[in-house]
Amino acid sequence: MNRSYSRFVQRLGGRGAGAWAIHGRALAARAAGQDVVVMSVGDPEFDTPAVVGNAAATAIAAGDTHYTDMRGREALRSLIAGRHRARTGQSVNADNVVVVPGAQAGLFCASMCLGNPGDDVVTTDPVYTTYEATLRASGANVVTVPLDASRHFRLDVGRLVSAVGDTTRAIFLANPNNPTGTVLAEDDMHAIVDAARRHDAWIVADEVYAEQVFDAPFLHFASLADARDRLVTVSSLSKSHAMTGWRLGWMVVPSDMAAHLENMMLAMLYGMPGFVQAAAFAALNECEADVARMREAYRRRRDLVLARLAGCDAIACVRPDAGMFMLLDVSATGLAGGEFAARLFDEQGVSVLDAAAFGEGGSGYVRISFAGADERLEEGCRRILDFVGSLGSDASRAALR
């Protein structure tokens, strides 16, 4: 039988789709009892705060297991809107908020609402692995702006502005960026907004890691008044509240876009579970101290990894401003990122990701997650150094001093 599928499913592939194979191997090995160190995914090792689980359990016990509003319950949307108002100054209310199953779903919904076949959408390279497929899903062309390694992967805003033209429908930006951990400068954000206004383009701001900024000043795009009428803000509880499996995110959008998103929810999801929304309400209302505690833990873990790997001449860490990842330059070992990652896992049982999965700009790098516990990060760094020291190149023979 000769089966055929739509062009849509073909657009959902891309280089990011296969990025997680080594992570899958690591999970399987760990489940089999093998001593592996998983540094390949940003899944916090912290438990979800107890108050969140208790809120969900109470809601389930009360029978909160039926259909809910397509956009999300008004109480939760009002809470999200109030939080957004307080942080950005943007005048929004519950009508501007749509609750979605995680930021990834929010990005996909934004892509499908904004993009048309033949349009251009602009993003950076590198950027999170799913962006390529997410943006191509609408049929739009993806235009990438390289983040130059010589600038420590910080945006050259002139290159981005030059990439925006009359066929540009939207600019999708992860700020802070994953995998680089960089944060946009305020002057660059103003230049981006000016370019979007000149060419009548939207800005989609993925701010999932906004709660985990360590060093750099951070500004929400919604804080810029000129951006607000063409802005989609996407966020979630996954990273900030250690709630990756709860799948609770949101979009803050103009009210007319919210109506289109409601139709998407009707077609795809039929509303988020009530008990998950109850958990989200508790998380946003009662867990600021937990968020701050986890942020400081990630800062400490970032510094731990930087310190442990600093003495190795054959590899170089790119210091992140935010998030739970860093890029590691492995080009001096003589191995491509994919070969480095594969051999590191095979020989030392440490899983990292080939950063080329995040775009061509990641070639020669791997991405390390420091979401795990301190002792496992210590062990992972030790094994990375052992692996690099075992390589036969001149660079690696001089690696450990």
- Which of 286, 306, 332 is the endpoint of a domain? 286
pLDDT bucket at 15, cuts 50 / 70 / 90: low
Q: How far apart are CA 62 and CA 292, in angstroms?
A: 31
pLDDT at 215: 86
Percent of residues in the chain assigned helix, strand, coil, to nearest 5: 50, 15, 35
How deeply is 5 buried, as exposed, middle or buried, from its count of CB atoms within 10 A (0-12, 13-18, 19+)? exposed
- pLDDT of 400 higher than 60: no
pLDDT in tens, 319-353: 999 999 999 999 999 999 999 999 999 999 999 99
Residue type for 129, please? T
CA nearest 21: which of 361, 342, 359, 401?
342
Lookup: tokens for 310:
């600093």
CA nearest 274: which of 67, 24, 4, 126?
67
Residue type for 179, please? P
Q: Which range of residues forms the domain containing residue 299?
A: 7-47+289-392
End-to-end Cα separation, the chain, in angstroms? 61
Residue type for 335, please? L
Q: Same domain, yes or no, for 366 and 311?
A: yes
Lookup: tokens for 40:
């390949």
Q: Same domain, yes or no, for 378 and 235?
A: no
pLDDT in tens, 213-266: 998 899 999 999 999 999 999 999 999 999 999 999 999 999 999 999 999 999
| Cα atoms in the 13 Å half-sphere on the side-chain side of 151 | 12
Q: Same domain, yes or no, for 304 and 380?
A: yes
- pLDDT of 16 higher than 80: no
Q: Same domain, yes or no, for 42 and 57?
A: no
Mean predicted confidence (pLDDT) in 99-123: 97
In a domain, 33, yes or no: yes
Q: Same domain, yes or no, for 85 and 217?
A: yes
Distances (CA, A) of 60 to 97, 274, 332, 357: 24, 8, 54, 40
Backbone phi, psi, residue 312, to 5° = -110, 115
Position of tokens 């990292």? 352
Backbone phi, psi, residue 165, to 5° = -140, -165
Lookup: tokens for 152:
């420590």
Provide the 8-state DSSP code for 172. E
In a domain, 256, yes or no: yes
- Which of 253, 286, 319 is the endpoint of a domain? 286
- pLDDT of 271 higher than 50: yes
- pLDDT of 371 higher than 80: yes
Q: How far apart are CA 301 and CA 83, in angstroms?
A: 28
Q: Same domain, yes or no, for 275 and 209?
A: yes
Q: Same domain, yes or no, for 154 and 221?
A: yes
Q: Same domain, yes or no, for 120 and 232?
A: yes
CATH number, domain with residue 153:
3.40.640.10
- Which of 264, 286, 308 is the endpoint of a domain? 286
In a domain, 84, yes or no: yes
pLDDT at 17: 60
Q: Same domain, yes or no, for 231 and 248?
A: yes
CATH number, domain with residue 358:
3.90.1150.10
Q: What is the dihedral of CA 83, 55, 209, 267, to 10 degrees?
A: -90
Domain tally for the chain?
2
> Which residues does 357 contact at the CB level (< 8 Å), separation at least 6?
15, 16, 18, 19, 129
Residue 293's CB is within 10 A of a number of other CB atoms, namely 12
Q: Same domain, yes or no, for 250 and 355?
A: no
Q: Same domain, yes or no, for 235 and 356?
A: no
Mean pLDDT of the chain: 94
In a domain, 400, yes or no: no
Q: How far apart are CA 74 and CA 82, in angstroms?
A: 12
Distances (CA, A) of 304 to 101, 103, 320: 33, 29, 13
pLDDT bucket at 397, cuts 50 / 70 / 90: very low
- What is the dihedral sign for C-alpha 222, 227, 228, 232? negative
- pLDDT of 13 higher than 80: no
Q: Same domain, yes or no, for 232 and 301?
A: no
Strands 249-252 and 350-351: unpaired
Lookup: tokens for 36:
């592996």
pLDDT at 9: 82
In a domain, 398, yes or no: no
CA nearest 328: which of 346, 348, 308, 347?
308
pLDDT in tens, 66-102: 999 999 999 999 999 999 999 999 999 999 999 999 9
pTM above 0.85, yes or no: yes
pLDDT in tens, 127-148: 999 999 999 999 999 999 999 9
